[in-house]
Amino acid sequence: NAGVTQTPKFQVLKTGQSMTLQCAQDMNHEYMSWYRQDPGMGLRLIHYSVGAGITDQGEVPNGYNVSRSTTEDFPLRLLSAAPSQTSVYFCASSLSSGTGNGYTFGSGTRLTVV
Amino acid sequence: GDSVTQMEGPVTLSEEAFLTINCTYTATGYPSLFWYVQYPGEGLQLLLKATKADDKGSNKGFEATYRKETTSFHLEKGSVQVSDSAVYFCALSDRAAGNKLTFGGGTRVLVKP
C-alpha cells in the first residue's frame, strides 16, 4: 500500500541542466497529474494524464515534458532548468477524472535551481 | 475560468478554540468541492468532500457544507488541537473544465497550547 511515490525528495540543479522527477502509483489509478507549489500561489497544474498514452497540458506547462507509457508511472522532465522552476513538485493520482473522486498525493520533490 | 478563493492566513488559535476557514468558488459547471490538508513536510491529504448542493462533508471533527446559492464551502471545527496545525486548501473539480482540480491559495493554521 505504497500509494504515490515520488523521487527524489530533494534536488539541486544548475541552470540549464536537465532532470526527470519520478512518480509511481500502485493503486491502478487512471488519472495522474503534476502540480507545483509556490508560496502564496497554492498549487498549479503542470501536466496531466487520463490514461496510458494520453497526456495534456495544464495551467503552467512551459519548460516541462511528460509521458505516460504505463498506468503506474508518470515522469516529469525538466529540459533546461531555470531559477523560475525552483518549487515543490507534487504528483497526484485519482481512480478516474470524475469530479467526485479525491486525489492521492505524493510527498513531494523540493527542487532548487541555482 | 474556474477559481477558488480562500481566506489568507496565518490563522492563530488557542487549543479548543473554534476554527472557520472561508472558501468561495467560481465554476463554469457544477463542481465537486474538496478540502485538503498539508502537514509540515508532507504532501496533501484529502480531508473531506461534497459532490452536490447541500451535501455536508465531514472528517476528523471538521465539517463543510456545499452552498450553491452563495458558492461557498467553508471549513469548520468546533474545538481545535495542536495537531490540527497545518495548511488547508480548498479545491474544486469541474466537469466543464475536464475534471481538473483547481486549488485556492491555502490557509496556514497554527494552534497554540
A7 touching chain B per CB within 8 A: no
Q: How high is the pLDDT of residue A96?
A: 74
Mean pLDDT (chain A, rounded) = 92
- pLDDT tens for each residue of A54-110: 999 998 999 999 999 999 999 999 999 999 999 999 999 988 766 667 789 999 999
Which residue of B93, B95, B104 is in closest CB contact with A42? B104
pLDDT band for A2, please (50, 70, 90 cuts): confident
| CB pair distance less than 8 Å for A33 and B94 | no
B→A contacts (Cβ < 8 Å), by residue, are 4, 31-32, 34, 36, 41-46, 49, 51, 89, 93-95, 98-106
Contact A36, A44 (CB under 8 A): yes
In degrees to the nearest 10, what's the CA dihedral of A80, B103, B105, B4?
Answer: 130
- DSSP type of residue A103: P
**Amino acid, single-letter form, for residue A93:** S
Cβ(B34)–Cβ(B99) below 8 Å: no
CA atoms within 13 A on the CB side of B5: 8
Distance from CA of B2 to the nearest CA of A (A): 12
Q: Is B83 helix (H, G, I), strand (E, B) or coil?
A: helix
Q: How far apart, in whole angstroms, are the C-alpha atoms of residue B109 and residue A93?
A: 26
Find the residue in A nearest to B89 (Cα).
A42
- Nearest Cα residue in chain B from A5: B43
Q: What is the pLDDT of residue A103?
A: 87
Q: What contacts A62, CB < 8 A, 6 or more positions away? A: none
A98 touches chain B (CB under 8 A): yes
pLDDT band at B100 (very low <50, low <70, confident <90, very high): confident
Q: What is the pLDDT of residues B43-91, one digit of tens each?
A: 899 999 999 999 999 999 999 999 999 999 999 999 999 999 999 999 9
Identify whether the C-beta of residue A48 lies closer than 8 Å to the C-beta of residue A78.
Answer: no
Q: C-alpha A71: how far from its chain's center?
A: 14
Containing A57, the helix (H) or strand (E) segment is: strand A54-57
**Is the confidence at residue A1, as pLDDT, over 80?**
no
Query: Nearest-CA distance from A7 to chain B in Å?
Result: 13
Chain B contact for A54, CB < 8 A? Answer: no
Residue contact A105–B51, C-beta within 8 A? no
Average pLDDT, chain B: 92
The whole-angstrom separation of Cα A84 and Cα A73 is 26
The residue length of chain B stands at 113
Is residue A37 packed enough to be buried (19+ CB in 10 Å), middle (13-18) or exposed (0-12)? buried
DSSP SS3 for A114 = coil
Strand, helix or coil for residue B88: strand
C-alpha cell belonging to residue A29: 489509478
| Among A4, A58, A108, beta carbon nearest to B100 | A58
What per-residue confidence (pLDDT) applies to A89? Answer: 97
